[in-house]
């Protein structure tokens, strides 16, 4: 995974959204305020603090450890919003409330209650033909979070 994008300002909003939408727990993404470079790595990469550890790591991971240390030591990098900042459950709930059909809206809201909410929700939107509408809505919500973040940090971006 460890994607590293050497970029220039303004950054592409899509690149920021993609970096924020990490599919793995413990994955972190950062952006350099001055250059627009986006880096991502795991919490495990950050955990290596002894320089001698580089001898036992594969080359790709040793590079990630070096980059993680560089990010930690620099004030130029700022962490992108992660899954805790994104609040996917709240996005899912807003999507449900936005459904026009009263019965379908209530069925969706019932599906997201309690344990297993994400699994039930995804099954229901698939059965009801709402999967594309959900992914479009979710993507727009994450894009809004990214836009707000970049504006707050004063990082210029473009929408393509």
Look at residue 1 in the predicted model and tell me its pLDDT.
44
> pTM of this prediction?
0.80
- Top pLDDT among 67 and 139 is at 139
- 55 and 114 in a single domain? The answer is no
Examine residue 149 and state whether it is found in any structural domain, yes or no: no
Examine residue 155 and state whether it is found in any structural domain, yes or no: no
Look at residue 50 in the predicted model and tell me its pLDDT.
47
What's the angle, vertex CA 146, arms to CA 140 and CA 148, rounded to 5?
Answer: 105
Run of H or E residues at 42: strand 38-42
pLDDT in tens, 67-111: 778 888 889 999 999 888 889 999 999 999 999 999 999 999 999
pLDDT in tens, 4-15: 455 568 999 999
- 52 and 116 in a single domain? The answer is no
Examine residue 137 and state whether it is found in any structural domain, yes or no: yes
Domain count, the chain: 2
Examine residue 35 and state whether it is found in any structural domain, yes or no: yes
- 8 and 70 in a single domain? The answer is yes
Look at residue 44 in the predicted model and tell me its pLDDT.
64
| Buried b or exposed e, range 121-148, using 16+ CB within 10 angstroms | beebbeeeebeeebeebbeebbbebbee
Look up the domain containing 132 and give its range.
84-142
């Amino acid at each position: 995974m460890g994607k590293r994008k050497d970029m220039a300002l303004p950054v592409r909003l899509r690149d920021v959204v993609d970096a924020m939408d990490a599919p793995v727990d413990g994955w972190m993404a950062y952006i350099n305020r001055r250059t627009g470079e986006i880096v991502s790595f795991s919490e495990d990469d950050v955990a290596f603090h002894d320089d001698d550890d580089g001898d036992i790591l594969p080359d790709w991971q040793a590079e990630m450890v070096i980059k993680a240390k560089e990010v930690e030591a620099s004030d130029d990098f700022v962490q992108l919003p992660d899954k805790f900042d994104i609040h996917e459950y709240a996005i899912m709930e807003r999507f449900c409330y936005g459904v026009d059909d009263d019965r379908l809206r209530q069925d969706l809201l019932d599906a997201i209650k309690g344990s297993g909410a994400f699994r039930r929700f995804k099954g229901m939107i698939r059965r009801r033909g709402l999967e594309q509408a959900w992914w479009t809505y979710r993507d727009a919500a994450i894009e809004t979070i990214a836009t707000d973040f970049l504006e707050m940090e004063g990082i210029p971006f473009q929408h393509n």
